[in-house]
């Protein structure tokens, strides 16, 4: 018994002292997130169309966005990616600090990365062509990630953990107060409709070009304010995961408990400030933050704690080139490629399940492309 106890004690000490240098779970979760954007959701839409089943229809509906208030699982993809960008910060920016890089050097790198993401967002939105400014859509998914990532990282570089928590609260509470006590001209105070809310009004007033919905843009500038908190939450999670004086199981428990608390608080706040991805409301930040924490806890527990890594290889291949596959559709005609290689399979299967088979083939073609890059150790780093 004494030997067993000593061995267990030594294992626990190793678990505490060994701060991770890379999270396999983070690559896998990023790949899991991007899987749905690269075509995974179309498999379920195809099943719904092919079967006409209410069951598959309900699942497929979760891979759409609500018109305004409310939440579907598809709404999690974007904030989860931003959350994970934050998680990686202590392992990338933090490591460079430990190596002796100055905050100024890292600040310039963070700003450069944000600038590149904004430019890539413009390309994704508008393609590579000259057009009148009035026709350009400036807000974008990558642009929001870049701006929110930049401000969250500046806070990380120049403040301690406690202050980062305060900044997290400041952005979501401040945003709530701003929208509760303001509105677009001609609308009642606190109006949260698409046309009447203050955030959309500010975007209409100051942003050049066109907005995605004419009077509103879901990636608008003003609603990027609470998105900074999503990035900060990821950073705080990364700090927790990097700590060497806490056991892995305690990290899992902390993330899981925090995730549940966030979900409860989100539902309470939802009564006054509806969960709304379009406005990235504060209740939305807590809701998707809670789900992100629970997913991170699950993936971390299975992959990094228990050591079950092989099953996640499929997702890690995607996760290590996530930005590349996101922008690739503007340079590669994936539909044409899929039809060229596997169109015969769709014809062989025939209606109605050919749409499901072709959706699977579409994802497979993209994955094989990423796998080839993976074997060549070719990754797009921003």
Instruction: Say if 329 falls within a structural domain.
Output: yes
Residues 39/363, Cβ–Cβ less than 8 Å: yes
Residue 293 has pLDDT above 70, yes or no: yes
Total structural domains within the chain:
1
Instruction: Say if 380 falls within a structural domain.
Output: no
Q: Quick one: pLDDT at residue 12?
A: 43
Instruction: Say if 321 falls within a structural domain.
Output: yes
Residues 200/194, Cβ–Cβ less than 8 Å: yes
Average pLDDT value for residue range 310-330: 91
Closest listed residue to residue 237, CA positions, set 82, 102, 353: 82
Residue 5 has pLDDT above 50, yes or no: no
Exposure of 279 by Cβ count < 10 A (0-12 exposed, 13-18 middle, 19+ buried)?
Answer: buried
Interacting residues of 147 by C-beta distance below 8 A, sequence separation 6+: 114, 118, 224, 227
Angle (CA) 13 15 17, round 5°: 65
Instruction: Say if 46 falls within a structural domain.
Output: yes
Question: pTM of whole model > 0.95?
Answer: no
pLDDT in tens, 137-162: 999 999 999 999 999 999 999 999 99
| pLDDT-above-70 percentage for the chain | 94
Q: Quick one: pLDDT at residue 9?
A: 42
The position carrying tokens 């179309």 is 42
pLDDT in tens, 18-42: 455 568 999 999 999 999 999 999 9
340: enclosing H helix or E strand:
helix 334-349
Residue 98 is given by DSSP the state H
Tell me the C-alpha distance between 381 and 192, whole Å. Answer: 38
pLDDT in tens, 186-244: 999 999 999 999 999 999 999 999 999 999 999 999 999 999 999 999 999 999 999 98
Q: Quick one: pLDDT at residue 209?
A: 92
Quick one: CA torsion of 137, 138, 142, 146, rounded to 10 degrees? -170
Residues 126/136, Cβ–Cβ less than 8 Å: yes
Closest listed residue to residue 380, CA positions, set 309, 341, 331, 313: 331
Instruction: Say if 295 falls within a structural domain.
Output: yes
* Domain that includes residue 35, residue range: 2-375
Tell me the C-alpha distance between 14 and 141, whole Å. Answer: 41
pLDDT in tens, 228-272: 999 999 999 999 999 988 999 999 999 999 999 999 999 999 999
Instruction: Say if 67 falls within a structural domain.
Output: yes
Tell me the C-alpha distance between 58 and 381, whole Å. Answer: 37
Residue 363 has pLDDT above 90, yes or no: yes
Neighbours of 162 (CB within 10 A): 8
The two three-digit tokens of residue 282, written as one number: 């504060």
Residue 69 has pLDDT above 50, yes or no: yes
Instruction: Say if 381 falls within a structural domain.
Output: no
Q: Lowest-confidence range among 28-42, 150-164, 172-186, 340-354?
A: 340-354
**Secondary structure (3-state) at 44:** helix
Alpha-carbon radius of gyration of the chain: 22
Q: Quick one: pLDDT at residue 1?
A: 36
Question: Dihedrals φ, ψ of 197, to 5°?
Answer: -75, 155
Tell me the C-alpha distance between 219 and 212, whole Å. Answer: 8
Residue 16 has pLDDT above 60, yes or no: no
Cis peptide before 352 (omega within 30 of 0): yes
The position carrying tokens 């498999």 is 43
Closest listed residue to residue 273, CA positions, set 176, 356, 183, 161: 176
The two three-digit tokens of residue 135, written as one number: 């026709």
Grade residue 7 by pLDDT with cuts at 50, 70 and 90: very low
The alpha carbon of 51 is separated from its chain's Cα centroid by a whole number of angstroms, namely 31
| pLDDT-above-90 percentage for the chain | 78
Residues 235/89, Cβ–Cβ less than 8 Å: yes
Residues 262/290, Cβ–Cβ less than 8 Å: yes
Tell me the C-alpha distance between 320 and 370, whole Å. Answer: 9
């Amino acid at each position: 018994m004494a030997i067993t106890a000593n061995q267990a004690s030594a294992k626990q000490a190793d678990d505490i002292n060994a701060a991770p240098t890379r999270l396999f779970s983070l690559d896998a979760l990023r790949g899991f997130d991007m899987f749905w954007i690269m075509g995974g959701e179309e498999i379920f839409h195809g099943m719904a169309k092919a079967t006409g089943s209410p069951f598959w229809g309900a699942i497929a509906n979760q891979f759409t966005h609500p018109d305004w208030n409310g939440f579907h699982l598809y709404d999690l993809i974007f904030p989860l990616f931003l959350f994970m960008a934050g998680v990686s910060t202590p392992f990338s920016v933090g490591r460079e600090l430990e190596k002796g890089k100055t905050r100024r050097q890292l600040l310039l790198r963070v700003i450069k990365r944000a600038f590149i993401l904004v430019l890539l967002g413009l390309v994704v939105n508008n393609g590579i062509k000259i057009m009148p400014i009035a026709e350009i859509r400036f807000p974008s998914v990558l642009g929001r990630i870049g701006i929110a990532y930049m401000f969250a990282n500046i806070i990380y570089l120049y403040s301690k953990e406690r202050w980062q928590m305060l900044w997290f609260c400041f952005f979501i509470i401040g945003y709530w107060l701003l929208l509760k006590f303001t509105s677009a001209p001609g609308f009642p105070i606190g109006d949260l409709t698409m046309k009447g809310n203050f955030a959309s009004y500010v975007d209409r007033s100051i942003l050049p070009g066109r907005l995605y919905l004419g009077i509103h843009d879901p990636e608008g500038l003003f609603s990027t304010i609470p998105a900074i908190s999503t990035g900060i939450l990821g950073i705080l999670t990364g700090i927790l995961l990097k700590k060497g004086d806490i056991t892995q199981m305690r990290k899992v428990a902390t993330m899981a408990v925090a995730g549940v608390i966030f979900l409860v608080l989100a539902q309470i706040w939802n009564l006054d400030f509806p969960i709304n991805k379009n406005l990235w409301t504060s209740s939305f930040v807590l809701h998707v933050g809670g789900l992100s924490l629970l997913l991170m806890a699950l993936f971390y527990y299975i992959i990094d704690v228990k050591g079950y890594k092989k099953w996640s290889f499929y997702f890690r291949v995607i996760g290590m080139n996530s930005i590349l596959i996101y922008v690739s559709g503007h340079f590669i005609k994936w539909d044409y490629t899929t039809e060229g290689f596997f169109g015969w399979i769709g014809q062989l299967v025939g209606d109605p399940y050919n749409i499901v088979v072709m959706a699977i083939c579409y994802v497979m073609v993209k994955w094989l492309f990423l796998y080839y890059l993976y074997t060549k150790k070719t990754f797009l780093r921003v």
